Amino acid sequence: MSKLAGKVALVTGASKGIGASIAEHLAAEGASVVVNYASSKSGADSVVARITKKGGKAIAVQGDVSQPKDIQRLFSETRKANGKVDILVNNAGMYEFAPLDAITPEHIQKHFNLNVAGLLLTTKEAIKLIGPEGGSIINIGSIVGPMPAPQASTYSASKAAVDAITVSLSQELGPRRSV
């Protein structure tokens, strides 16, 4: 029996890179996986194909998690397909390094809308589908949160916020078994 048989995992930003690998590993352990993507449908479809080729279960669902309406649709589609969520992996994120003189309000907003607000709002929706037996929420941070690099001030700040959110939510949700 696989460790995650009967579990449903939603992985944001799962059409490539770390997110794709996480989705494939969760499926290999028996989870049904929701492969979220913002723009790369072909990438998400490829991840789903690799999972199903190995006998796993997966669907691709489009949704830009920096957009609240997309988050609601993502969870509506997840509910329709699976009825619940047991594991949320907040992997979607963006980074654009820039020197201070090139940073604009738009640069800051893009980072914080996806890396911080998207993570919080996605978690808020996931909690509604996590049953009384509890679940797991995994937030993907970065070493540049606690150890900022040159020209990464905005990205580092957003990933430091992810670290703070993770600690705060573990204290808030842990007693409810939703961490």
Active site residues: 155
Q: In 10 A of CB 103, how many CB atoms? A: 15
Closest CA to 70 of 109, 36, 110, 33: 36
Are 139 and 90 a contacting pair, CB within 8 Å? yes
